[in-house]
Structure 1
């Protein structure tokens, strides 16, 4: 018989699986704690948006509290430890996952502009590979045009297109350097030989393994939730998940109000309560699937960076605020690094929440967040139904 869970139980299972069952500690986290977060999540999504902090910093902050960002960068961007590829968008992952992505590399489809450029420059890929081989790891700005000119050959011109194509096809790999610059290198130099030559996973087995891992990372989810974690096709994932459940590798359950089959990691825990407060990134695995976040937290969340100013509902770069396992508010944030201030143009509370309690916890978290970013103050704006209470709580 399929067990039926409440939405509250499903929420607590999801939070525990994602590493939120314990309060953040005040001591300075290090590699052991970073590795624990990476093991929980399996991957960290990368994004160039830097309104407050780089997207890859935020999941570690949400689970660990303040830490040294440069220290994390060194840990993340160490060859033979991690690599970057297209998993859930651009992502950094433990290097042991490399064999799981060969099928995607083999099936990489060149976009039309890339196909056209590479047809116009038939020797381009070979030349770029030679440069990486001789001078790598290198960034796109360090490419030299084939004519021998010393002018950097970058932007979304032929050099960038060639690098991105070779990266997608697995002929190059990458990590990040200073300034979040993607540095390309040969897999032979960046991936340990034993892992590079591991041929255990064909496409079918890789999908099975990725679905098992996604179920573990999520704790609980629908077939679509689980497929989305690694951007797998739902038409392929759905029957595979049914097979995995029939074989006892995952549990099929039901959750009140959720449609379709729901799957749970057999090892998932359901804590009695979740304690603590933190801000969450739009690119955190807990919130990147907006439909799932709405289903679990009753929290409708959209990023409005690309929405015209006059049409924005909450603000430019809005982060959810989680208090004791519930998404209770949202704040628009901007790190004014020149002025040394964390700016909060707006703050909104969710319906039915205690304004005084939420404002007090949020004010404390904003001060903590600003300190972690190296900013000396928090400046509150005027917009939103939580701003007044937040201002009172901040004095």
Structure 2
């Protein structure tokens, strides 16, 4: 199998090669999430937040209220995958091992908390119903603790992480907590999986979402030799059953790929452009992204401004099956303007006519998704490209 075939296979499994690979509407949004296994939550709002952006990239008619409705309808819940995420409710039981670790005090938590405060917070929600952090009055006038959280907010997060509370909704980005027994549907399986079964869940989740995987990807941000050993055992069983095959590519670790994927012909994706969130499932494993696509991507919003190479919040630009650059942009929602702060085209500058129209179209669609009505182009990494692109994005020009 060639590197190009692997690229196309994983993009196909990620739902990034067709316009509506999961259908349309709210039901399709749930299908996307169940297929990917999780969607990462992020609070940054330079452009539409990552969880909405990731779904929109696979569902062009996506509306941000879909996700809120899926949480309200108990089809989706919030917890931890490798980071804070939305997860399919049907997979709730696979969050139980980590919840129980927190409950037993085995998992790291950044603050100690008085058990009396935990009881107070739990009892208030039990008696008064769902609560937000600001619904609690702080009894602590001191600052300097972790993120300056008041004790009740720390208690809320601790109770959430150990599974006593769940997020039943959000007001903006502020979580609304309720007792788990009042949020979790009675039909959900709450049997805690064993260590081998949990490893099998991770292996199959990655294979379903990417078509291919490595041991390192499966254990990404998860510690412990036992998990690695169990993942290797699951993959060995699948190799023996011929449901997966090993693929060797020079310069890359051993890859495990779904046999069905290898046996079917993988078509070249349509020449469309996708502007991906920095937290999109397809690019979140930076080492994998560089190994597979030769695309070195880093999010620079946490880098001091003088040291940034591309910009504060760059989005990878995917053209068909190739990452051709990145775009640093910002939605100025007060004046409904979408600003392209700096467009970096790193590949295919010589055949601009191939990707120019798809790029312009996608930027316009993304601006609309961000609630903007005009587009302004500030800078391009090539004077020649700037001259070509400027007429499409004249300052304050109404585009749609």
Superposition TM-score, scaled by structure 1 size: 0.88
Alignment of 1:253-292 (within 5 A): 253-268=246-261, 271-275=266-270, 276-292=272-288
Q: 1:246 aligns with which of 233, 236, 241?
A: 236
**Do the aligned residues in 1 keep the contact of 2:276 with 2:318 (CA within 8 Å)?**
yes
Label 1:16 to 1:393 Cα distance change in 2 as closer, same or farther (>3 A): same
Label 1:387 to 1:131 Cα distance change in 2 as closer, same or farther (>3 A): farther
Say whether 1:219 aligns with 2:211.
Answer: yes
Q: Where does residue 58 of structure 1 map in the other structure? A: 53
Report deviation, 1:265. Answer: 2.6
Bigger shift: residues 90-99 or 382-391: 382-391
Q: 1:322 aligns with which of 302, 318, 321?
A: 318
Q: 2:196 aligns with which of 188, 192, 204?
A: 204
2 CA distance for matches of 1:267 and 1:393? 43
* Secondary structure at 1:192 match in 2: coil
Aligned residues: 375
Label 1:56 to 1:270 Cα distance change in 2 as closer, same or farther (>3 A): farther
Q: Where does residue 10 of structure 1 map in the other structure? A: 6
Q: Where does residue 309 of structure 1 map in the other structure? A: 305
Label 1:289 to 1:162 Cα distance change in 2 as closer, same or farther (>3 A): same
Q: 1:156 aligns with which of 131, 146, 149?
A: 149
* Alignment deviations for residues 281-328 of structure 1 (CA, whole Å, 9 cap, x no partner): 011000111111112221110000011111110111100111112111
* Alignment deviations for residues 32-63 of structure 1 (CA, whole Å, 9 cap, x no partner): 22122112211110010110001111111111
2 CA distance for matches of 1:163 and 1:357? 52
* Secondary structure at 1:194 match in 2: coil
Q: 1:36 aligns with which of 15, 27, 31?
A: 31
Say whether 1:349 aligns with 2:345.
Answer: yes
Alignment of 1:165-176 (within 5 A): 165-176=158-169
Q: 1:337 aligns with which of 330, 333, 337?
A: 333
* Secondary structure at 1:346 match in 2: strand
Q: Where does residue 80 of structure 1 map in the other structure? A: 74
1 CA distance for matches of 2:170 and 2:222? 29
Q: Which has the higher contact order (CA 8 A, sep 6+)?
A: 1
Report deviation, 1:237. Answer: 4.0
Q: Where does residue 134 of structure 1 map in the other structure? A: 127
Say whether 1:189 aligns with 2:182.
Answer: yes
Report deviation, 1:392. Answer: 4.4
Say whether 1:98 aligns with 2:98.
Answer: no
Q: Where does residue 390 of structure 1 map in the other structure? A: 389
2 CA distance for matches of 1:357 and 1:346? 21
Label 1:321 to 1:270 Cα distance change in 2 as closer, same or farther (>3 A): farther
Q: Where does residue 46 of structure 1 map in the other structure? A: 41
Q: Where does residue 150 of structure 1 map in the other structure? A: none
Q: 2:292 aligns with which of 287, 292, 296?
A: 296
2 CA distance for matches of 1:176 and 1:316? 30
* Secondary structure at 2:164 match in 1: coil
Report deviation, 1:127. Answer: 0.3
Label 1:104 to 1:60 Cα distance change in 2 as closer, same or farther (>3 A): same
* Secondary structure at 1:132 match in 2: helix
* Alignment deviations for residues 115-164 of structure 1 (CA, whole Å, 9 cap, x no partner): 1xx2xx341000010112123321111123479xxxxxx96110111111
Q: 1:369 aligns with which of 366, 370, 391?
A: 366
* Secondary structure at 2:309 match in 1: coil
Q: Where does residue 380 of structure 1 map in the other structure? A: 377
* Secondary structure at 1:106 match in 2: helix
Label 1:60 to 1:29 Cα distance change in 2 as closer, same or farther (>3 A): same
Q: Where does residue 398 of structure 2 map in the other structure? A: none
1 CA distance for matches of 2:182 and 2:306? 50
- Unpaired segments ≥5 residues, structure 1: 148-153
Q: Where does residue 233 of structure 1 map in the other structure? A: 223
Report deviation, 1:352. Answer: 4.5
**Do the aligned residues in 2 keep the contact of 1:80 with 1:95 (CA within 8 Å)?**
yes
Q: 1:178 aligns with which of 151, 160, 171?
A: 171
Label 1:163 to 1:44 Cα distance change in 2 as closer, same or farther (>3 A): same
**Do the aligned residues in 2 keep the contact of 1:82 with 1:95 (CA within 8 Å)?**
yes
2 CA distance for matches of 1:155 and 1:357? 51
2 CA distance for matches of 1:362 and 1:182? 36
Superposition TM-score, scaled by structure 2 size: 0.87
2 CA distance for matches of 1:212 and 1:234? 19
Alignment root-mean-square deviation, CA? 2.4
* Alignment deviations for residues 5-42 of structure 1 (CA, whole Å, 9 cap, x no partner): 211111111111111231249xx931222122112211
